[in-house]
Structure 1
Amino acid sequence: MTSTTTVDHQRTDGSTLRLTFAEPDGALRGGLVVLHEGDGVTDGVLLLVKSLAGEGWLTVTPHIESGEQLTQRDLLDATDRTLEWLTDRGVEADLRGVVGFDLGGTAALVVASHRKFGAAVSVGGQAVAELPKLLEIAGRVTSPWLGMYGDAGDEAGEAQVEQLREAAASAKVATNVVRYPGANHRFDADPGAAEEAWQRTLDWFDAHLR
């Protein structure tokens, strides 16, 4: 599996953002931004970055230090800087995607409603301080968006996912919300659901980043 590299990306204004990335061994298909979970760039995030690079994508995750106190401004600023880095590496706008899980899943939906990507994917997600509620933004996504959520095996969780599907259906771009009965928001309690979510992620990017 490909290795990761960490750099401090410097902008013309002198500010820097730490980025960790992995490059594909073969032909470059495009670029993916991975938005990490609340604990930062964990081993799980690094595995995701390397796995996506193994599928042909230049994959990069920004180190966003705000964690659970993440604001929309922090998130969009870090995303914009990461997109600058991808542009510098020759990745065109329609070949750029964003993906996140857990906290990053919520962040990916927020980004998909404020920035134009070729495709966006959220795996799980949760409410985060100062970020808009999911139902308020799902219908405003400007990038084709796939959301995959476990319902934790209860009626309340099931109803929330169905409400999110209805909200996303009003967007002017392609959306798909998939519910996994019994899976938790991190998908680590159901390996079968996790494997299927991974394949759906790859298929979504294959379909929209071209």
Structure 2
Amino acid sequence: MTLKPEHPGVVATVGGTTPATVVAPRTDEPIRGGVILLQDARGITPYLVSVCARLADAGWLTVAPHLYHRDGIIEVDPAGSWSSAPQQMGTLTAAGITTDVDAGLAHLADAGFGLERTAVIGFCMGGTAALFTATRHAVGAAVSFYGGGVNTPYWDGVPPLVELAPALRAPWLGLYGEEDVLISVDEINALRAAAGTAAAPTELISYPGAGHAFHSDDRAEIHRPAAAEDAWNRTLAWLHTHVASA
């Protein structure tokens, strides 16, 4: 999917230091709220920019911080990025993620969307960071697509998700594949149980026959259209219920 000319992606600097892809709904449509969109381990790929466009089509002002910018990677479409993704992901820090996400939140606040009118959505490592964010801020909602680090943390300063989940301050939706070679079914079930103890509403949906990155329609070998469509529809419904209706 390519960006529609009515709302092209703009690489801006938010919070004074963080490069981010910003995509707004068309000017003739009302804005439902703001979304911080957090990248998968590959970076700011055309796929991730297309997700920004889909959110804009649904009425959401979307900010996708370029989390690898401290390593000089700020471009859209890092070619062949999957092979280097695990090593690159390891360069992130809790402090850097916090700074970049909070810069995006400040940008949305300046646009008129406070925390209750803002959602955080992430894919892969971005799903991990989305849950982490929802323990730090009472955002309107959070959604994690196959966020890892469930039992073993990815980064110093970000505890495993099973330890973080009980502290969720925002409604959280988890979307996982039961054939994920990186996240076991036991981990999925443990995360579901941990999130269920939070004060905020939570739901974790797992899809039989779907693996890691099942939503990534730029990778035909792992994309699972039925699971991806259902997960996306649930995401939009979650945002509508907890953010747009706030």
Fold match, TM over 0.5? yes
Question: What CA deviation, in whole Å up to 9, does each residue of 1:136-175 have, x standing for no partner?
Answer: 1111111110001112178x82222111111000000000
Residues 206 and 129 (structure 1), Cα distance of their counterparts in 2 relative to 1, 3 Å cut: same
* 8 Å CA contact 1:113, 1:141 repeated in 2: yes
1:170-196 Cα shifts (integer Å, max 9, x gaps) = 000000011111211211432110111
Larger fraction in strand: 1
Q: Which moved more, 1:193-202 or 1:61-70?
A: 61-70
**1:24 partner letter:** P
Q: Deviations over 1:55-106 (max 9, x none)?
A: 0010110111164122221111111111111111111321100001111111
Is 1:195 the counterpart of 2:229? The answer is yes
- Please state whether the residue corresponding to 1:32 is helix, strand or coil: strand
CA distance in 1, matches of 2:160, 2:15: 32
Task: Tell me, yes or no, if structure 1 residue 109 matches structure 2 residue 131.
Answer: yes
Amino acid at match of 1:205: L
Structure 2 matches for 1:1-210, cutoff 5 A?
1=4, 2-9=7-14, 11=16, 16-25=17-26, 26-65=29-68, 67-68=88-89, 69-127=91-149, 128-130=154-156, 131-152=158-179, 157-187=184-214, 188-209=222-243, 210=245
Aligned equivalents of 1:189 and 1:52: distance in 2? 19
**Distance of 1:10 and 1:82 partners within structure 2:** 7
Cα distance in structure 1, aligned partners of 2:108 and 2:64? 11
Q: Distance in 2 between matches of 1:102 and 1:133?
A: 14
Does the aligned pair in 1 maintain the 2:15–2:103 contact within 8 Å?
A: no
Aligned residues: 205
Describe the shift of the 1:186–1:86 C-alpha distance in structure 2 as closer, same or farther (beyond 3 A): same
Runs of 4+ in 1 over 6 A off after TM superposition: none
TM-score (norm 2): 0.79
**What is the distance in 1 between the residues matched to 2:136 and 2:111?**
23
Distance in 2 between residues matched to 1:132 and 1:93, nearest whole Å: 23
Structure 1's unaligned 5+ residue stretches are none
Q: Take 1:200 and 1:181, find their aligned partners in 2: how far apart are those partners?
A: 16
Contact 1:125 1:185 survives alignment (8 Å): no
> What's the secondary structure of 1:207's corresponding residue?
helix
Shift of the 7–169 alpha-carbon distance from structure 1 to 2, 3 Å rule, reads same
Q: 1:153 to 1:105 in 2, by over 3 A?
A: closer
What is the DSSP-based 3-state SS (H/G/I as helix, E as strand, rest coil) of the residue aligned with 2:136?
Answer: coil
Q: Measure, in 2, the Cα distance between the counterparts of 1:10 and 1:123.
A: 26
Secondary structure, counterpart of 1:99 in structure 2: strand
CA change 1:163–1:4 in 2 (3 A) is: same
CA contact (8 A) 2:34 2:108 kept: yes
Q: Give the match for residue 76 of structure 2.
A: none
Answer whether contact 1:153 1:181 (CA < 8 A) is retained.
no
- Please list every run of 5 or more consecutive structure 2 residues that lacks an aligned counterpart in the other structure: 71-87, 215-221
Residue 46 of structure 1 deviates from its aligned partner by 0.1
RMSD: 1.6
For residues 177 and 6 of structure 1, do their structure 2 counterparts lie closer, same or farther at Cα, with a shift above 3 Å needed? same
